[in-house]
Chains A and B, each alone.
Chain A
Amino acid sequence: MTTGKTTTVPQDAAAALVKLTGVSKHYGNIRALQDVSLEVSAGEITCVLGDNGAGKSTLIKIIAGLHRHDAGTFEVEGEETVLANPRAALDHGIATVYQDLAVVPLMPVWRNFFLGSEPTKGRGPLRRLDVEFMRRTTRAELLRMGIDLRDVDQPIGTLSGGERQCVAIARAVYFGAKVLVLDEPTAALGVKQSGVVLKYVAAARDAGLGVVLITHNPHHAYLVGDRFVLLKRGTMAGSHTRDSITLDELTRQMAGGSELDELSHELERVAESGTGVTDATARGAGRTGPADAAGEASRTTAPTRDDTTR
């Protein structure tokens, strides 16, 4: 990860691109989200952090127009809105890149790039896809994001996970998204691939987009984020700007403070009987949370994670 944090000046524009205030969501008698507030402005990255089941998915579905919120307000550029469906979100310039369903694996890159918004030429029965334009634009747009694809005709499933994410991001940028919602873009990726994706996230920000980055990795969040919203069991556990929190504090809050202390005690006792585990503890603490850290430490040899995991 080479892009240092450029000093983004939070714009003092009158209205944030997307602003949620006290939003709640129930599924039957299950409280999925309670009183969560979040805002993102142009050229800014707001990170939503939380462990599994914290309500990140629900939040993303509300912003993407898949679900409607039950309470609170949802403002898009200062105007209160209720999104009926994903199409409505897109029409408002809110593009969502999902973790796993961003693309159709068997289809060529250029078909995926324009899927759902294909440009056509000709009239009547001769109205057809502008294939040449689609191919050329796909290649050019990807190049602009720094991805030099050998062949835009290859099935997108043959690209690496990071590259696929980047295609999805480039697609959203090209189609005039003002707000980019990214659902765990680095979750399934190795260190190098994650770095590549974060670079494109930063590139999207520099292009003037507002980015909502959902993640459970405080390290990734802190590398690019301007604001941090912490979710815990469906409620907001904290909301910080970059100036008001350090990485350590963010990691600590994210992992659940005292729970983590207890865990590291437990793991230290384990460490006495084996080598290499203390290393895992240190790394586990910085990562996802108690469950993951325990899983990591239970292996005697901590595997090195690199970009072989796609």
Chain B
Amino acid sequence: MTAATAVDERLAPTSLVRRLLGRPELGAVVGAVAVFVFFSIAAPTFLQASSLSTILYSASTIGIMAVPVAMLMIGGEFDLSAGVMVTTSALVSSMFSYQMTANVWVGVGVSLLVTLAIGFFNGFMLTRTKLPSFIITLGTFLMLTGLNLGFTKLISGTVSTKSIADMEGFPSARALFASKWEIGSVTLQITVLWWLALVAVATWILLRTRAGNWIFAVGGGADAARAVGVPVVKTRIGLYMGVALCAWISGQHILFSFDVVQSGEGVGNEFLYIIAAVIGGCLMTGGYGSAIGSAVGAFIFGMTSNGIVYAQWNPDWFKFFLGAMLLLATLLNAWVRKRAEASK
């Protein structure tokens, strides 16, 4: 946040430390530094440039989804269907193009509409029924998991889609969703750019637009927000459609980088997104958090998942680390927030 222009003279001594303490992503940054230092010592190959690009890539695949999930959590809701929605988006795109023998861009467009419709469905059901989002999106999660498998088997005869690599429009779609550039020994994936762009846009929306103000308000006190005229229903539906939009980006990346899509994928990823958002400082109860925090959370995920490999440990330990990290981050965030609020 920019410093107030008309600074009150009583505010002058506010130290930088104190202002940093007030940021939601502080805990995550401290955690990220700790993880970085830890693996730098434990795994000698961790600091190589090629390792860094791998880490960034895996961080970006989670990070692209962690951004809208963090926004949704700031708005006070969950989306358990986010993980399989990515797969759904990829499947729809691939199978539509293949079955209709259309340009892949047609499939990409149809996929966008279908995915946004799923997001709308989540938001609409939530605001209409007033059931907890946990239940609504758990239902969507299960339904999508079933549909992904069922439809793919029905249409392709197997659990994965047919290759669409030789179809019209594939190269240009791949360029947009799955390019990579070799810069020296480093490979830069386009998902990293998508990710950074999304973080920037989300931060802009959250901190500098009316919609952002409404998102914080809906998560922090929906009744108060409604009473002062905030469009609570529209905000919530918009948040779910934001998750859907990013699921579409993510899904298209998977499709165009692997060419075929496994219909059973994506299950469990919704938790990774939530974990990244929570490590990044989002409150489970809503009304607090940041998009940048979710990016730091995703980066921690990338460092841990790859760091364990570089340290030549058994990757079975990864989930344990993730769980411990989640607990530590939440505790740290709670402590930091208390300090920040008490110091004011």
Contacts and interface: CB of A to CB of B under 8 A. Distances in A.
Contacts of B16: none
Interface string A145-177: 000001111110110000000000000000000
B227 A120 contact: no
A98 B223 CA distance: 10
Interface in B206-225: 208-210, 212-214, 216-217, 220-221, 223-225
10 contacts: A86-B226, A104-B217, A106-B287, A116-B228, A118-B213, A128-B208, A131-B2, A135-B5, A155-B344, A157-B341
The secondary-structure label for the interface of chain B is helix
B221 A86 contact: no
Contacts of B228: 115-117
Interface in B189-221: 204, 208-210, 212-214, 216-217, 220-221
B213 A105 contact: no
A105 B220 contact: yes
Interface of A: 64, 86-87, 90, 96, 98, 101-107, 111, 114-118, 120, 127-129, 131-132, 135-136, 139, 150-155, 157-158
Contacts of A86: 226-227, 229
B216 A107 contact: yes
Contacts of B216: 104, 106-107, 111
Contacts of A117: 228-229
Interface residues of B, number: 31
Contact of B5 (A132, A155, A158): A132
A115 B213 contact: yes
A106 B213 contact: no
Interface of B: 1-2, 4-6, 8, 10-11, 204, 208-210, 212-214, 216-217, 220-221, 223-230, 287-288, 341, 344
Contact of B210 (A102, A106, A120): A120
Contact of B221 (A87, A104, A132): A104
A127 B209 contact: yes
A107 B5 contact: no
A116 to B, nearest CB: 4
A150 B225 contact: no
B341 A158 contact: yes
Q: Which of B1, B212, B217, B228 has the largest count of A CB atoms less than 10 A from its CB?
A: B228
B224 A102 contact: yes
A144 to B, nearest CB: 15
B220 A107 contact: yes
B188 to A, nearest CB: 26
A177 to B, nearest CB: 12
B22 to A, nearest CB: 8
B208 A131 contact: yes
Contacts of B1: 153
B341 A129 contact: no
